[in-house]
Amino acid sequence: MLFFTQCFGAVLDLIHLRFQHYKAKRVFSAAGQLVCVVNPTHSLKYAPTRCAAAQTSTEQGALPPCHHHDAVHDPQLVPCTCPLFSCPWEGHLEVVVSHLRQTHRINILQGAEIVFLATDMHLPAPTDWIIMHSCLGHQFLLVLRKQEKYEGHPQFFATMMLIGTPTQADNFTYRLELNRNQRRLKWEATPRSVLECVDSVISDGDCLVLNTSLAQLFSDNGSLAIGIAITTSKVHNAEAEM
């Protein structure tokens, strides 16, 4: 009996996923872009003191700012950058991606332009939607967070961070784009490094910020599609000059 219940659950999940993909393809069929359906994760940690030192000394070789171990450690080691968990892991920057994939099961996508389809936008805050994005020889972490900065008024915050140093991050520009019902909202900025905490980027408000009403205007049946593009900063500067 338990076996049949589980089978039925699995079939329902498959139907749900198929429906989500269909929805995503319908929204972005013309663009021919890779669509990634991202399910929400209820965040297990919101420790405000975790990244107290995030604003200082974030250059290559400096002490990792989000450090949360008291023992003396190798300065080249980076703590886990996953914004979902207070994870005790630390390792070299080069192995952060494999840690995020294996331990936190965060998907990684290839391609210069992808569509991030966040489902179940109605879920209560705090909730995160996370993927990694591999592009131009680097990996980026895209975080969409629903959070109540002011009690009773949830907002959506979206940002992109380079899994690399701040110096490397300065070479890129990321663009987040919402497009629906003859409305378009674009945010372009230089990605931050994962050595700076995502929590501090969001608390500074230096990212794409959406009120609930705007998020609803851009959502389709509870899902929000965000077009993502990454370019090198030289291209961005040339555009600005034009």
Chain residues that interact with its own copies, rule: CB under 8 A: 30, 150, 152-153, 155, 173, 179, 182-190, 204-206, 209-211, 213-214, 217, 233, 236, 240-241
Which residue type does 131 have?
Answer: I
| Residue number, 16 or 153, with CB nearest to its own copies | 153
State which residue, 94 or 204, has the beta carbon closest to its own copies: 204
Q: Taking the complex as a whole, how short is the minimal distance between the CB of residue 18 and its own copies, in angstroms?
A: 28
* Both structure tokens of 160: 């992109």
**Tokens at 173, concatenated:** 């520009």
User: 123 or 217: whose CB is closer to its own copies?
Assistant: 217
State the minimum distance, in angstroms, from the CB of residue 195 to its own copies. 19
Tokens of 13: 């999940």
Q: Least distance (Å) from its own copies to the CB of residue 240?
A: 8
**Shortest distance, CB of residue 167 to its own copies, whole angstroms?**
15
Instruction: Pick the closer one to its own copies by CB: 167 or 233.
Output: 233
Cα gap 69→81, rounded to integer Å = 14
**Residue pointed to by tokens 């969001």:** 202
Residue 104 CB, nearest distance to its own copies (Å)?
A: 29
User: Is the dihedral angle over the CA atoms 144, 136, 195, 87 positive or is it negative?
Assistant: positive
Shortest spacing between CB 115 and its own copies, in angstroms: 15
Q: Which is nearer to its own copies, 168 or 179 (CB)?
A: 179
The C-alpha atoms of residue 174 and residue 68 are separated, in whole angstroms, by 29
Q: What secondary structure does DSSP assign to 19-56, as a single string?
A: HHHHHHHHHHTTTT-EEEEE--EE-S---TTTTTTTTS
**Which of 103, 97, 176 lies closest to 137 in space, CA to CA?**
97
Q: Cis peptide before 126, with omega less than 30 degrees from 0?
A: yes
DSSP-derived secondary structure letter, 124: P
Going by DSSP bridges, is the β-strand pair 192-193/153-162 parallel, antiparallel, or unpaired? parallel
Nearer to its own copies, 92 or 153 (CB): 153
Residue 20 vs 193, nearer CB to its own copies: 193
Question: Minimum CB separation from its own copies for residue 209, in Å?
Answer: 5
